[in-house]
Amino acid sequence: MQIDPHFWDRNPHVIPHLQAFGLEHAFAFTSRGLQILRTRHGLPYSLWSVRDFLTIGPGAKTIDVIGDGFTCKAEIRALWQAWPGKRIFPAGVLFTPDLAPGDQGLFWNSWSGWAVAPDGRADWSLIERFIRDRIASGSEAQTAYVLDWLAQMVQRPAERPGTALVLETGDSDVPLLLARIIRRLAGSHSYNVDPILYGGPIPSRDLLIGHATLALDTGTKPRLAKLRRLLAGEAVRPQRDYRPQINYQRFMLSAAPGATPDWPELVPITAGRFGRTLDEFNAIEAQLETGAGGFLAHLMGRDLSRFDPRASIAA
């Protein structure tokens, strides 16, 4: 949009609208060139090409403006693009958990912190029992490994463990609930992707958590190849004839896709299953509303000095 030098002097009423719009939008230089960054509180950020932003992006609302001898209507997003007060991040978008979230001057820090505050007084006993009895099938070694693995994610969010948990269970509600527990902690940093149904690629390359439920048919191998390609940023054609009637599932969880190019090692966890009713499932889900802070506080306080995510669980 072409703006003459005196446009802003003639249209001071436009500035508050652009300032409000600019709170959620900025220009950022990325590996794909100049893009428009959109950030909204509590939601993952998104990157737009300038062309897409000006055609299908937000900000299509118009406002009356005074030109050089005429009046007309102009879109907020087009005016913002030409406004000299807009933010520009020459270093783009970076994932740096050791710094404060958001605007860092030269770049936008996509780390937004945990979705809950740690609270050592909060009761998370049902969550603990679920991890011990359902995830780890009562095994002390498996329980310690899972908790330490999650604690590493919490204490060192920028560090990829190099391993992925694989829950082997006949009950799909077990991995589903684990996903919800971790999503309660991670908030906008979590992303659910089905390598069979989702066409990819995964939109954000610095996601703290990417988890997937892999469905298997009896006697067939899991479709790990599609998940590997998704995490590598490739587009995968969805399987349209997929049917959800399954009798076996694996749950995979790995930190920061793209942080290292290697596919994580798979750590099999022999998981249990719920009973015939969903009473336990619902009780744990209810405790998440008040107890997630207690679980986060526990993970933050675990001693990881001897934890090696690549070591065997027996060790």
Is 266 strand, coil or helix?
strand
Distance CA 198, CA 239 (A): 8
pLDDT for 176: 79
CB-CB neighbours of 181 under 10 Å:
23
Determine the residue type at 107. F
| Per-residue pLDDT, 128 | 96
Sign of the Cα torsion 115, 119, 125, 129 reads: positive
38 band by pLDDT with thresholds 50, 70 and 90: very high
Long-range residue pairs from 200-205, CB within 8 A, at least 24 positions apart, any chain: 200/229, 200/230, 200/234, 200/235, 200/236, 201/230, 201/232, 201/233, 201/234, 201/235, 201/236, 202/230, 202/231, 202/233, 202/257, 203/44, 203/46, 204/44, 204/45, 204/110, 205/233, 205/257, 205/258
pLDDT in tens, 71-102: 899 999 999 999 999 999 999 988 888 899 88
Least confident of 158-167, 187-196, 215-224: 215-224
Q: What percent of the chain has pLDDT over 70?
A: 74
Q: For the chain, which residues make up each domain, given as ranges?
A: 7-109, 125-301
pLDDT in tens, 126-181: 999 999 999 899 999 999 999 998 998 899 887 777 777 777 777 778 877 888 88
Question: How sure is the predictor about 315, in pLDDT bands with cuts at 50, 70 and 90?
Answer: low
pLDDT of 216: 34
With H, G, I as helix, E, B as strand and everything else as coil, classify residue 196: coil
Which two three-digit tokens encode residue 222?
């899991």
Average pLDDT, the chain: 78
The letter for the amino acid at 148 is D
pLDDT score at 274: 80
